[in-house]
Each structure stands twice: as structure tokens, then as C-alpha cells.
Amino acid sequence: METVEGESFGEKYDLFVCLQCGKCTGSCPLSMRSQLNPRKLVREALLLENEAVMDKDFLWDCTTCATCRLRCPRDLQPVEVIIGMRSILIEEAKVPSTVQEALESTFKNGNPWGRAPSKRVEWAAELSIKKASEGAEYLYYVGCTPAYDPRVQSVARSLVRLFDAAGVDFAILGNEEKCCGNEIRRMGEIGLFEMLMEDNIEMFENYGVERIVTTSPHCYNVFKNEYEGLKAEVFHYTQLLCDKLDEGKLKLTKELKKKVIYQDPCFLGKQNKVFEEPRKLLSSIPGVELLEYDREKMRSVCCEGGGGRMWAEATATGERTAEMRVKEAAALGAEVIAVACPFCLLTFEDAVKTTGYEGKIEVKDISELLIEAIEG
């Protein structure tokens, strides 16, 4: 196969050294429920022509959790091979209509949710927050889902109150903020991703941004690892708040007597190795008993919200991974599933409903639990 940029898959992704050991497929959270088979795809990328990807609807099942990449004994990147195959589908316009709408909206509106750019900052209507033009130590990059999704807006509002409480000097871009492109690149729309990256870097530089703090691990990941030429330092909010906790500026005083289990977001945990800060924040809340999944940290299981899956219904059948995780949490006696990612928040809330645990298990973002601990 050849990438859309005309390179051979074999050379670009170094596929000749693949052992075909199958660890990638064994690690894939979807392979048991879908035809998605990273090992087979790596082989096919070497042996078949581009035409072979045209009828592979299951390529949209991949959540880009990257477990295949992290476990490969040869340091290969099956997940990137899948993204490369998606790019072929994008250029051939073989795109699920929901993905098409998300991409077209991102191009036109700067967000994948089909929402007006002039409504981006509505979540903050009742808050007074500095604009990036006024300058601040941190740029709080809110992200599309926290800006527009009614459930996740609560996370953005909680973070503003927490930053204020901890004395963080921060500003937002308001309606000027645009999609970070993490999901866009993973859906295979390379051209659109590059456009967003260039626009965002230029905007950050115009405002003299030196430090960025994000709501979402997805935005954090792309800024930190994939934005070529970005000079600003990038933090996930759990890192910044953990620092403020250590400095004694974030005071968690109110008791919250709950058994809480933490779901590692793939883009924060296994992909960026931020494991301790979220746990430290949670266990510092008086009264919280922090539980752990058997499969946690590097072994944590994806919620199926990443890689464009928020806009693509999978071909996979059977129990969703988030449903499996809710049941595991229930078996461990958890009352709250704590998340640190907008997509985990949405997929887990759905899973709590579909597994019949509504009213028994709550899904909360860490920021929402911290608010309860500072304000009671």
C-alpha cells in the first residue's frame, strides 16, 4: 500500500521488521468484537494494494488507544498504520456520514459538533474570565467537547472555579478557540489537521502563550507530542492542580465519604504516563477511599471514546468496554467512577445507563469531585 502522500506503508512505518507475533491484536480492546485485527492489517499494508482498504468499514472501530503501539516488541505503530489506511478512505471520500459531518463542521466551524463558533464561549456566560489578549501565565485551552456539550460544560466551569481558588493566573481564547485536531488526525484527515495545527500555533504565538493547560487529555496529547514548532509548555489540568495542591494553594477541606475508582484516560495515562497526579488529587479529598481496577495504568482499558469514535458508530458487536468497566467498578464496590477526560465522561455515563447502574454509580470528572471538596 501507499500512503496518501505517496510513500510505501512498509517504509514509512518500518513494517518489514514486524514479527507477526500478534501482540497488537491480543492487546486491542476491539479485536475480540470486530474484524479489526492490527496484525492482519500490518501484513496487508505490506502485501496488498490500496484498493484493499475500500470495504474495510471496521477501520473506523479503532479507538487509537495505542495499546498495540505500546506493547509492540519491535516498537512498531499498528495504530498509525490504521490511521494511514483511514487517510486513504478520506481521500477516496469513503467516509461514514457522521465522520464526514464532524470533519466538515471542524473545517467550517472550528469544532466537530456542528455548533456555531459564536456560541463557543457560552458555557462561561456567568463567569468572569480573562481573555487571552489580556495576557496570563496559563492559557486554559477548553476544547470543543467541554465548550459545547451540556454535560461536559460542567467540567470547564469547575476548572475555572478551581483555578481561581488555587490562585492560577489564566485566560481563555473564547470564541477564537478552535479544535486542536487530535481526533481529526486520528480520523485520517491529515490536511485538516495540519491546517488546525498551523492556525493554532499562530494564534498561541500572537497572544504570547507560554503555558497551556487543557481539560482534555486528547488536546494535551496533540499539543505536547504532535504540534511541530509549538514552543509553549503543555499541561493537563490534573498536573497543574496537583502542583497547586503540593504548594498548599489548593485546599481540599470538605469531606466526601465515597468509594471512588479512577479510569485512566488512554491519552493521559498509557500514552503520556500521567498516572500519579490524578490519583493524588483524588486521594487528597478527605473521606475518599480510592479503589483501583485490576487493569489500571499501562494495562487500563480504553472507554471507546477516542480516535474519532465519538463520531463513528463501530461495526463491533457485544458489550462495550465502558460497560465492562462499569460492571468491574460495581463489583469492586465503587460508588463513583472518576474520569479525567471529556470522552470518558460521556461514554461512561452512557454505560452506567445501559448496564442498569443509574442511581447506583455516579460518573464524575475529577474536577467536579474537587469542587465538592473545596466548596462542600
Site residues (CB under 8 A) for other proteins? 4, 90-91, 93, 95, 97, 100, 103-104, 107-110, 115-119, 175, 189-192, 194-195
What is the secondary structure of 134-170 as a DSSP string? G--SEEEE--HHHHH-TTTHHHHHHHHHHHHHTT--E
Beta bridge partners of 9: none
User: 196-228 in b/e burial notation, b at 16+ Cβ within 10 A?
Assistant: bbeebbebbeebebebbbbbbbbbbbbbbeebe
**Cell output for 24:** 497488537
* CB of 95 or CB of 152, closer to other proteins: 95
* CB of 110 or CB of 217, closer to other proteins: 110
Angle, helices 321-331 vs 342-354, to 10°: value is 70
* CB of 5 or CB of 294, closer to other proteins: 5
Kindly state the smallest distance separating residue 195's Cβ from other proteins, in Å. Answer: 6
* CB of 144 or CB of 361, closer to other proteins: 144
Kindly state the smallest distance separating residue 26's Cβ from other proteins, in Å. Answer: 33
Kindly state the smallest distance separating residue 309's Cβ from other proteins, in Å. Answer: 18
**Cell output for 276:** 500519579
The C-alpha atoms of residue 108 and residue 102 are separated, in whole angstroms, by 10
Residue 366 near residue 276, CB atoms below 8 Å: no
Kindly state the smallest distance separating residue 60's Cβ from other proteins, in Å. Answer: 13
**Cell output for 241:** 492542580
* CB of 97 or CB of 317, closer to other proteins: 97
Kindly state the smallest distance separating residue 66's Cβ from other proteins, in Å. Answer: 24
* CB of 50 or CB of 175, closer to other proteins: 175
* CB of 26 or CB of 117, closer to other proteins: 117
The C-alpha atoms of residue 358 and residue 346 are separated, in whole angstroms, by 14
CB atoms within 10 A of CB 309: 25
Which residues lie below 8 Å from residue 331, measured CB to CB, with a gap of 6+? none
Kindly state the smallest distance separating residue 317's Cβ from other proteins, in Å. Answer: 26
* CB of 190 or CB of 337, closer to other proteins: 190
The C-alpha atoms of residue 373 and residue 253 are separated, in whole angstroms, by 6
Kindly state the smallest distance separating residue 192's Cβ from other proteins, in Å. Answer: 5
Residue 301 near residue 327, CB atoms below 8 Å: no
Kindly state the smallest distance separating residue 97's Cβ from other proteins, in Å. Answer: 7
Kindly state the smallest distance separating residue 147's Cβ from other proteins, in Å. Answer: 13
Q: What is the rounded (10 degree) CA torsion for 318, 323, 328, 333?
A: -150
* CB of 189 or CB of 304, closer to other proteins: 189
The C-alpha atoms of residue 42 and residue 122 are separated, in whole angstroms, by 44
Phi and psi torsions of 294, nearest 5°: -60, -45
Q: Taking CA 190 as the corner, what is the angle to CA 186 and CA 194, rounded to the nearest 5 degrees?
A: 110
* CB of 193 or CB of 235, closer to other proteins: 193
Kindly state the smallest distance separating residue 18's Cβ from other proteins, in Å. Answer: 28
